[in-house]
Amino acid sequence: MPATLPRLDIAVENVSVTYNNARLALYNATCTVEPGTITALVGPNGSGKSTLFKSIMGFLRPSQGQVRVGGLPVPKAQKQQLMAYVPQSDEVDWNFPVSVFDVVMMGRYGYMNLLRMPRAKDRRLVMESLERVGMVQFRDRQIGELSGGQKKRAFLARALAQAGKVILLDEPFTGVDVKTEKGIVDLLLQLRDEGHTILVSTHDLASIATFCDRTILLNRTILAEGNTQETFTKENLELTFGGLPMVSLEHMLPSAEVSS
């Protein structure tokens, strides 16, 4: 039952990242993603959201700082299949000759033997995951032959098949229509209720208050974090998106009262 699942937090401590073009992409970022919550990661383009994701996942080596998941170092957590990652679309080679089914099956490799021979259970979980995102009928499509929203759902299914306790989604809503967005949000809410910890970056400020328990505001460093109600304020958004005319931000706030 969901209640017995161990809930895992993500603790980011003092992480700084410099790419080899010597630009500091992330500076002294410290934040916590509380266990069993949906947390939004918000910041303008180039603020370091993807960089923070990649540091959490261990895809790049921060110049300082450390990340722990459920108290474990990241490589350990990954060996135990605790962490799933849904990449931003531009990180995927969409011309690669693999089908949707193949991609979702890759979520199960960590559970298989050395030869990666899928067992009946793996196939069942792959089909269940495809069903949950409504992609069963596309399972034999080459991944490039999907629409933007379908591509997102295919990779979401891979994360489901992996059954990680912590799921990181980098911009799952870009290029997705309202209906698909709602579908994904509903799924995330279900996953949270099952005890998953979810970190999601998004540019859709208007929808954050509707499903994110917590919000982290980022621009090179962590500017604010906490409950969405307290954190998602006019002042904080101004701080994060500095330079944007306030009018354009105003209508994205859940309600005018929150900020006053």
Partner 1 sequence: MSAVIAALPGWDWIVEPLQYGFLVRAIWVSAFVGLVCAVLSCYITLKGWSLMGDAISHAVVPGVVIAYALNIPFAIGAFVFGFGATVAIGYIKSRTRLKEDAVIGIVFTGFFAFGLVLVTKIPSNIDLFHILFGNVLGISQPDIIQTLIAGVITLVVILVRRKDLLLFCFDPNHAKAIGLRTPVMYYTLLLVLALTIVAALQTAGIILVISMLVTPGSIGYLLSDRFDHMLIISVVSSVFSCVMGTYLSYHFDVSTGGSIVVLLTLLFVMAMIFAPKYGILAQEFRQRSPQPLEEDSQKQQVVVDQA
Please identify, using beta-carbon distances, which residue of 22 and 117 lies nearer to ligand ATP: 22
Identified binder of partner 1 from the candidate list 39, 47, 51, 162, rule CB under 8 A: 162
Q: Are strands 10-18 and 24-33 parallel, antiparallel or unpaired?
A: antiparallel
Tell me how crowded residue 228 is: count the other CB atoms within 10 A of its CB: 22
Structure tokens given for 10:
């993500």
Buried b (16+ CB within 10 A) or exposed e, 88-97: bbeeeeeeee
Interaction pattern, residues 8-37, with ligand ATP; x per rule: CB under 6 A: -----------x-x-x-x------------
Tell me the closest approach of the beta carbon of residue 124 to ligand ATP, in angstroms.
35
Long-range (24+ apart) CB contacts under 8 A made by 241-244 are 241/44
Alpha helices in the chain (DSSP H): 49-57, 74-79, 100-106, 120-132, 148-162, 178-193, 205-211, 228-231, 234-241, 246-250, 256-259
The answer to whether residue 175 forms part of the interface with ligand ATP (CB under 6 A) is no
**Among residues 12, 38, 49, 86, which is the contact residue for ligand ATP, using CB under 6 A?**
49
20 binds partner 1 (CB under 8 A): yes
Nearest approach in angstroms of CB 97 to partner 1 is 5
- Determine the size of the site formed for partner 1 (CB under 8 A): 40
Structure tokens at 20: 């080899």
The answer to the question of residue 87 lying near ligand ATP (CB under 6 A) is no
Of the candidates 39, 51, 150, 236, which one interacts with ligand ATP according to CB under 6 A? 51
> Considering beta carbons, is residue 83 or 217 the nearer one to ligand ATP?
217
Tokens for 249?
């931000």
Applying CB under 8 A, does 206 fall inside the site for partner 1?
A: no
Residues in the chain: 260
Complex with partner 1: residue 39 or 150, whichever CB lies closer = 150
CB atoms within 10 A of CB 211: 18
Task: Classify each residue of 41-54 as buried b or exposed e, where b means 16 or more C-beta atoms within 10 Å of its C-beta.
Answer: bbbeeebbbbbbbb
8 vs 167, which CB is nearer to ligand ATP?
167
Nearer to ligand ATP, 41 or 135 (CB): 41
| Phi, psi (rounded to 5 degrees) for 254 | -55, -45
Binding site for ligand ATP (CB under 6 A): 19, 21, 23, 25, 43, 45-51
Binding site for partner 1 (CB under 8 A): 20-21, 54, 57-59, 75, 78-81, 83-85, 87, 91-93, 96-99, 102, 106-107, 109-110, 114-116, 134-135, 137, 142, 145, 147, 149-150, 158, 162
